[in-house]
Structure 1
Amino acid sequence: MTDTPDVPTPEEIEALFTRADGTFLCARWGRPIAPVVFGVDDATLGTVKAAFEAVAELAGHPIAETDPELGANVMMFFVRAWDELPAVPNLDRLIPGLDDLVARLSAAEANQYRVFRFDEDGAIRACFVFVRMDEALSDVPAETLALGQVAQLMVLWSDTAFTDRAPLGQLSDGRVVLRPDVGAVIRAVYDPVLPVVSTEPAHALRLHARITAGRLA
């Protein structure tokens, strides 16, 4: 089967949702996204908000000012060092084992981490995003960093989905945008015809069919 660059093959789609342990899991948000961002200035806050709006529009999924149950269901923290996290009021209540997590992230010299919560149907209910602005990320433009983070929380990707290739790509004029194939998968995952969550690898075939149908429409 031959696909154009913005139409990934079923095998490529399956790989995006197949975890390191071999299990397949694809899930989307089951409620409007209500984000809040900590640790940035007003200008960067506007940039992050624009990234949420762009990716949500692509998915056809709503953004809300507040979540009726949680207040904010996306919390994005930008820090300079992981040991800043335990000082955030009440964060240990939201993230059990926070001290151990901080120790693991520090030991691994990680610069980003995401924690998802799910509702009883398996849809994404909440997401906590932690970004440590190390030397590498500090050199990344705010628009690029924000777009990449939002793309990675919009769908429950595999833990290895973007190990070898980032979800973003660069146009000939130098602008950084969401890769067309990644954008097509996000749009397909949010097709209301499809279930909010699937653990069956055959779901990749359904996603591929929706992407192809969208190109032919």
Structure 2
Amino acid sequence: MGRELFFLFFAGIPAEDTGGFPLYPLGRWLFPLGICLLAVGFRMERSRASRLFAAIRYGKRGKWWTAHFCRHLLYGVLTGAALLASGLLVQLLLTGTQPDRQGMEAMAAVCILWIVHMMTLLALFFFMELFMKTAEQRNLIPPALLLLEGMSFLYGHYHREAARFLFGSWGMYTQSSLCDGAGYRIVPVLAAEAACIAGCCLLGYGFLAGREKETDYLWQV
């Protein structure tokens, strides 16, 4: 039962589960991702009052952005790792036995795919937050990202031939080639998500470079 709970929340929705609207499975998948987005968003809002002083300390806004990006990405990874560890602990407590080698390998794959996918969502969050001038606008980013995740998955859910190319299926172990022969290939997807993370960081740096006056709203609470 413990292992089932871990896979229910972190492995995604099985490719063979094509019947009806997957409301509860999709909700379980989005729930831990939403926790990470909200936790990091709350931390960013709390540190917003000290942004101007941090930017002055770094000298250039581009340097501040790189530190801001990496620091909050690390916080998101730690939050996600805590959720994964909690799921694994539940498994050990409920089953009372250690998983076999095959189970350990599957769980390791689940953790890697989920963490990288969550990092990609956070990177998009940080980049989008650059352009939001009010707290109300910034508060819309997490639900918008979860909506993107859910809608893109649902399209692939009903159009299986396109599922492996859609962002909402990435990160799901059950949608990968490890579980489904027609699923997405892990290495290209991990490379694409890593490129997205790096791209968000570089684009944010480029956006802030030379825009001292135009981005004053970044320092307003």
Question: Could you tell me the TM-score, scaled by structure 1's length?
Answer: 0.23
Question: Could you tell me the TM-score, scaled by structure 2's length?
Answer: 0.23
- Which protein is richer in helix relative to its size? 2
Larger Rg: 2
- Which protein is richer in strand relative to its size? 1
